[in-house]
């Protein structure tokens, strides 16, 4: 069979609280409807998933990740060096990359796209050598991501609101020292984010003008403002209008250096990828993805 006609489905059993596993019978029925050749590998971790993806891509298979943004980002990063092609069947909590690319979140539409979509090359972000596809951030976002990942009794998109409120209650302003394509700048406030894509956190359009193929990162900083005002501004992130607030600044760079006055983890696609100090850059149009025509 010609290269590209075979599909490796990487299924994360824990994605979306087990949603990926529950969806698998329907996914298989839809694949059969399109007469797509496939095999399934249930992943045991990020390293296992990336290894399987690289090996299959070398054999000419299309890699399809059935999971959330974390595994999609890591597999996508691994495929850069193998020249593989990535497809998505969204099965996580946030599914932000699928949202930005216009990939359906329901199974029938997602599998239809695998059969009839087109290939588009997108940028890949890198933080201290670890790759990501969405938005890498630190500061307040570090605390909120950690709380969201540790949450056991809050489900779905509500976990992001829960995590933000918990983080805000304990938050103290941080001082960040940034290198924006070599230009030094200091920011005191909440967070610094480097956006390869527009959205994170289950539909928060933190960088509404970011493009996945422009070779640049949209750097979003949120300076110090009272907690009540910060809380009032949070709903604006869902339509991107927060960028009009005085405390929010957006600049575009090819490389960003971040240091801070206290330790912070850098999260991207929901996963802890690095720690400050960190250098972030772009690999332009380094990943081929199956997207709507």
Catalytic site residue 181? no
Peptide bond before residue 277 is cis, with ω within 30 degrees of 0: yes
Q: Using alpha carbons only, how large is the chain's radius of gyration in Å? A: 19
**Residue 279: enclosing H or E segment and its boundaries?**
strand 278-291
Contact between residue 102 and residue 289 where contact means Cβ atoms under 8 Å apart: no
Q: Distance between CA atoms of 206 and 222, rounded to whole angstroms?
A: 11
Closest by CA position to 191, among listed 125, 244, 142, 123: 142
Which residue among the candidates 181, 239, 271, 275 is catalytic per the annotation?
271
DSSP codes of every residue in 148-194: HHH-SS--TTHHHHHHHHHHHHH---EEEEEEETTEEEEEEEEEEEE
Neighbours of 183 (CB within 10 A): 9
DSSP state of 61: P
Residues in the chain, overall count: 293
Residues annotated as catalytic are 271
């Amino acid at each position: 069979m010609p290269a590209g006609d075979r599909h490796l489905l990487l299924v994360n059993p824990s994605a979306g609280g087990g949603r990926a596993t529950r969806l698998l019978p329907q996914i298989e029925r839809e694949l059969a409807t399109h007469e797509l050749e496939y095999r399934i590998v249930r992943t045991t971790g990020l390293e296992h998933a990336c290894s399987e993806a690289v090996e299959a891509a070398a054999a000419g298979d299309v890699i399809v990740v059935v999971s959330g943004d974390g595994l999609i980002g890591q597999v996508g990063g691994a495929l850069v060096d193998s020249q593989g092609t990535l497809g998505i069947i969204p099965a996580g909590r946030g599914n932000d990359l699928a949202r930005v690319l216009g990939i359906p979140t329901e199974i029938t539409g997602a599998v239809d796209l695998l059969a009839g979509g087109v290939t588009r090359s997108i940028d890949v972000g890198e933080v201290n050598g670890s790759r990501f596809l969405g938005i890498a951030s630190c500061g307040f976002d570090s605390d909120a991501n950690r709380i969201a990942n540790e949450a056991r009794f809050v489900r779905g998109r509500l976990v992001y609101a829960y995590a933000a409120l918990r983080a805000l209650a304990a938050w103290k302003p941080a001082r960040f020292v940034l290198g924006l394509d070599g230009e030094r700048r200091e920011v005191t406030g909440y967070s610094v984010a480097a956006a390869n894509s527009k959205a994170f956190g289950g539909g928060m359009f933190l960088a509404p003008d970011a493009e996945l193929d422009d070779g640049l990162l949209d750097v979003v900083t949120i300076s110090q403002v009272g907690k009540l005002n910060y809380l009032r501004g949070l709903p604006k992130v869902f339509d991107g209008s927060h960028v009009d607030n005085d405390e929010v600044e957006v600049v575009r760079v090819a490389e960003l250096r971040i240091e801070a006055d206290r330790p912070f983890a850098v999260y991207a696609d929901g996963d802890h990828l690095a720690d400050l100090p960190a250098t972030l850059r772009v690999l332009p149009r380094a990943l081929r993805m199956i997207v709507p025509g």
